[in-house]
Amino acid sequence: MKKVILVRYGEIILKGLNRPIFEDRLMTNIRKSLAGLGKVDVIRSQARIFIEPHDEDFDFDKAVEKLIKVFGIVSVSIVLKIDSDFEQIKMQSLIMAQKHVEYLLRTTKQSPKCQEQSEIISFKVEAKRGDKSFPMQSPQICAELGGYLLENIPSLRVDVHKPDFIFFVEVRENTYIYCDIIPSNGGLPIGSNGKGVLLLSGGIDSPAAGWMMAKRGMSIEAVHFYSYPYTSERAKDKVISLAKILAKYCYRIKLHIVPFTEIQLEINDKCPEELLTIIMRRVMMKIAERIALKSEAQALITGESLGQVASQTPQALAVTNAVVSLPVFRPLIGMDKNEVIEIARKIGTYETSILPYEDCCTVFVAKHPKTKPTLSETEKSEEGLHIEEMIEKAINDTEIIIVTE
């Protein structure tokens, strides 16, 4: 008998011949995320992964907290691994169910239906028999085990439609029993889908955008443009904090901090006011692409959402795209701000993003930015800039920080 963690993964199962590559990547990422919690065996078995700690005092809650941030995982359960023997199953299930009922009675998880009889908890048993040599079929396991628990735990009653909890029994070579399934984010393991360079501002959108592409298996590298002294040192710290939060999901983020003041001043000086933002965005994209190519990344990522501001109209996005040849991923393009905020809250970046430090985009803004710029007028307006030299200098002066959680 042993307490272990059962990890379920979803989309990877559909990967056909490539499935082992994704599974190996997921197992590597699991090991990485649990490093520091003590020795564990990570074992793949029948489209699941089991994590078996070596030490008695292994911190299961901490491990679960880490695992639900590993992309590719759909859900996890802390389970008890026991022999596939029905007497054993009954005995251990009774102990586990009793503890769980006590826990539910202590917390608020009781069925609202039972408010008057607050000592009642409803349940059902769900059994899966993966090992056909086991003498009982699933319905029989459910009926007999359910009956046994009901007889021995006075506060239990059965509700097969809306139970307060489900008691799960999976009979395989060993049997696994558990009461909780903790959902995770799904997606694909980081590193299984190349690398993207995220344009990370201090706002709400770009961290959420980076998280969404990481969820699809991209490793993330980040670029931040800052305009000291127009933006403060604290604005830079805020971006480092955001990268730190993202690193909980992405392991390690190489953050390029690019000095942008001279470029902004030059654009401000030489370009028409209504095109300031779009030209600034084009220079940002160019620099980000240079960094991406050097880092062997295959895409740029931004937090743009259609129509949010003047630089995010279809025409403006086309003018921005024209300056780079790498694909630009904009996972928030069809989202409302509220939907983005929901993601930011879920991933833990929201509270940091709303801290009131200025971004370089907000320092030099036009009163009436053009919402439908054309490529030819924008290119014409850029003619007086020494773009190549400016970019070269900014890249040379870039500070690189390796951010870990």
Binding site for ligand ATP (CB under 6 A): 199-201, 203-206, 223-225, 302-304, 308-309, 311, 359-361
Which residues have C-beta within 8 Å of that of residue 359, sequence separation ≥ 6? 201, 202, 203, 231, 235
Please say which residue, 4 or 328, places its beta carbon nearer to Mg ion. 328
Please say which residue, 192 or 353, places its beta carbon nearer to ligand ATP. 353
Closest CA to 395 of 301, 299, 287: 287
Closest CA to 94 of 52, 144, 56, 164: 144
Half-sphere exposure of 70 (CA within 13 A, CB side): 28
Please say which residue, 144 or 358, places its beta carbon nearer to Mg ion. 358
For Mg ion, which residue of 201, 231, 320, 349 counts as binding (CB under 5 A)?
201
CB 284 within 8 A of CB 301: no
- Using CA atoms of 103, 106, 107, 108 in order, give the dihedral in degrees to the nearest 10: 120
**Exposed / middle / buried, residue 303 (Cβ in 10 Å: 0-12, 13-18, 19+):** buried
Which does residue 382 bind out of ligand ATP, Mg ion, none, counting CB within 5 to 8 angstroms by kind? none
Q: Cβ 163 to ligand ATP, closest distance in Å?
A: 42
Does 210 bind Mg ion (CB under 5 A)? Our answer is no
Query: Going by DSSP bridges, is the β-strand pair 73-83/2-9 parallel, antiparallel, or unpaired?
Result: antiparallel
Closest CA to 320 of 296, 287, 293: 287
Does 203 bind Mg ion (CB under 5 A)? Our answer is yes
Q: Please tell me the distance from the alpha carbon of residue 334 to that of residue 339, in angstroms, as a whole number.
A: 10
Stretch that binds Mg ion, among 29-37, 259-267, 351-359, 376-384 (CB under 5 A): 351-359
Number of residues that bind Mg ion (CB under 5 A): 3
Which does residue 100 bind out of Mg ion, ligand ATP, none, counting CB within 5 to 8 angstroms by kind? none
Q: Cβ 254 to ligand ATP, closest distance in Å?
A: 14
Does 304 bind Mg ion (CB under 5 A)? Our answer is no
Q: Cβ 217 to ligand ATP, closest distance in Å?
A: 20
Paired residues of 123 in beta bridges: 158, 165
Q: Please tell me the distance from the alpha carbon of residue 212 to that of residue 143, in angstroms, as a whole number.
A: 43
Does 302 bind Mg ion (CB under 5 A)? Our answer is no
Q: Cβ 245 to Mg ion, closest distance in Å?
A: 17
Single-letter residue type at 256: H
The 310-349 contact track toward Mg ion, x by CB under 5 A, reads ----------------------------------------
Binding site for Mg ion (CB under 5 A): 201, 203, 359
